[in-house]
Structure 1
Amino acid sequence: MIIRKMYPEQYEQACRYLQENGKSSILDASYEVTMRVDDIEYQLRLQPCPKRQLAVLQAVKIFYMEEEIKYELILDNLPLSILLELFLIQHTSTSKNKAVSLK
């Protein structure tokens, strides 16, 4: 699980995107969103947290191999962190995240 603190405007945009486009159950605090990177699809489980923080709980990598759909659960922090940054770049438009460092 990765937790990232964000700027107020970026946090509001991310939460708005999750509420409008994310999938969530009635008593579920997290949202599931789909994101495509090259030819691979990822399903991210994101949860807004207090104090302008966003958590990535897990991700599932979905890819095709020999005409079969394969699934890979991602729990490692480095790939989760990178997927969170890509999500924020794609779905928030603040000037502060134009120059993103993946350090």
Structure 2
Amino acid sequence: MIPQEKLTDPTVRAFVTAVNSGDRAAFEALLAPGATMADDGSARDLADWTDREIWSSHGRMSVTRESAAGRALTVDYRNDTYGEMRTAWRFDLAADGRITHFETGQA
């Protein structure tokens, strides 16, 4: 496992930290206006998905691998709904460092 404070990309590090600490405000501050996301290749409503998959189900990320300068992660993701699963995450960032799009899915 890679400790979250050792993750290479500062925005991705802040994303993981916000998820793991249950800090929705910090998480939302990382998103660019109009940010989008996809789960297993299908576009999802970001607010609905994060509420269901992260916030109300107490999602937690344990990063096992990073690549693409820290913008691609392999994660053991756990929440109260599905238990633990190996997932892949990829992040696209704007010039100001905020997240414009992220994708997740089974790894």
Q: How high is the TM-score relative to the length of structure 2?
A: 0.29
Higher strand share: 2
Q: How high is the TM-score relative to the length of structure 1?
A: 0.30
